[in-house]
Amino acid sequence: MSPTLLIALAVFIGVAALVVAAAMFFRGDNENKLEDRLTTLTTKGLTSGGRPDKEQQTLLDLMNQGPSIFDSLLGYFGQVDLKQMCEQANVNLTSSQLLMMVGGLFAAGTALAAVAKVNLLLCPLAGLVLCVLPFLYLRFKKSRRVKAFGEQLHDSLDLMSRALRSGQSLGAAFDLVSQQLKDPVATEFGRVFETQNFGVPIEDALQEMTRRVPNLDLKFFATAVTLQRTTGGDLAEILDKIGYLVRERIKIWGQIAALTGEGRLSGVVLLGLPVVLFLAVYRLNPDYCMVLFTDPMGKQLLGGAIVMQIFGALVIRKIVNIKV
């Protein structure tokens, strides 16, 4: 098969995958039909903005919780749950849309590498590099959201404790947190409140929240609520103790960040300095640097330097990454 035909085929597959992903992302006919049915089934209509209210939206989410065919297929190859990845990152994407995007990026990267006259055997590597970008984005969104949730959790526990002491129910305390605090705590606690309003046991709703937000303190909270509803006890006092534990953990994290700041900065400098120095020398004298790519000994030295850089990065990360 000629290179021109390969490029045309890769471009066609990439464009087709991106078009299908965009169409699936922006389509809303099925969702609008569900919203119309919900309007007739619930006493509350649509809000002034033409969107479903909280209860309707929660019911929509529950109706769409079934695993897609992509999730079912990936389940045979391991614990790969694309839907859970998107939920944890709070990204409005389905498994099929994510896979379409990954396929489009792979085809686009392969086509661009072929257009740049890269060796055809190395063209798929460029596509694989672009394939990783959506997953890195999801990981970044997830880590930032989980961190923000952990910083807000102790405030939500204090608010729930005060609500319970004032005579309100546990469900009303969840609703109060969703109204008084900001995202992501408000969104997650609001989903628990709306879910248990539709008849789902609050233990199951909390279990779902711990799946969406992998936070250790949240698991303590969910376990405490489950045990209290089974064995009894003063839930307000339990929430106070968990809130105190969370605040102390955050305080220790701050102390560790201050003590390891020098090590983290040293790691950034040591990892970035060789790259910056190489670019500077290449700008001043390109022929001097090209020996690393043309001479066999230079290639070996370059490969050894890259391996040592990666090993050093892992060692520094192990030193400064202290778990509490």
Averaged pLDDT for residues 255-274: 82
Question: What proportion of the chain, given as a percentage, has pLDDT over 70?
Answer: 73
Instruction: Determine the pLDDT at residue 304.
Output: 87
Instruction: Determine the pLDDT at residue 41.
Output: 45
Least confident of 21-25, 73-77, 182-186, 293-297: 73-77
Helices then strands (H, E): number in the chain?
15, 0
Give the integer Cα–Cα distance in Å for 11 and 8: 5
Averaged pLDDT for residues 262-277: 83
**Residue 247 above 60 pLDDT?**
yes
Mean pLDDT estimate for the chain = 75
- Count the alpha carbons within 13 Å of 207 in the hemisphere toward its beta carbon: 6
The residue behind tokens 């389509």 is: 27
Contact 127, 105 (CB under 8 A): yes
**Residue 82 above 60 pLDDT?**
yes
Averaged pLDDT for residues 39-53: 46
Q: Is the link from the previous residue into 67 a cis peptide, with omega within 30 of 0? A: no
**Residue 292 above 60 pLDDT?**
yes
Instruction: Determine the pLDDT at residue 91.
Output: 81
**Residue 57 above 80 pLDDT?**
no
| 3-state helix, strand and coil shares in percent for the chain, rounded to the nearest 5 | 80, 0, 20
Instruction: Determine the pLDDT at residue 49.
Output: 47
Ordered domains of the chain (ranges, CATH) = 3-143 (no CATH), 145-249 (1.20.81), 260-320 (no CATH)
**pTM (predicted TM-score):** 0.62
**Residue 80 above 70 pLDDT?**
no
Which positions ≥6 away from 35 have C-beta within 8 Å? 46, 52, 56, 60
Contact 151, 257 (CB under 8 A): no
CA–CA–CA angle 231, 181, 238 (5° rounding): 20
**Residue 31 above 50 pLDDT?**
no
The length of the chain in residues reads: 324
C-beta neighbour count of 87 within 10 angstroms: 19
- Count the alpha carbons within 13 Å of 313 in the hemisphere toward its beta carbon: 12
Confidence of residue 5 (pLDDT cuts 50, 70, 90): low
Instruction: Determine the pLDDT at residue 318.
Output: 83
DSSP annotation of 67: P
Least confident of 45-54, 89-98, 157-166, 218-227: 45-54
DSSP annotation of 165: H
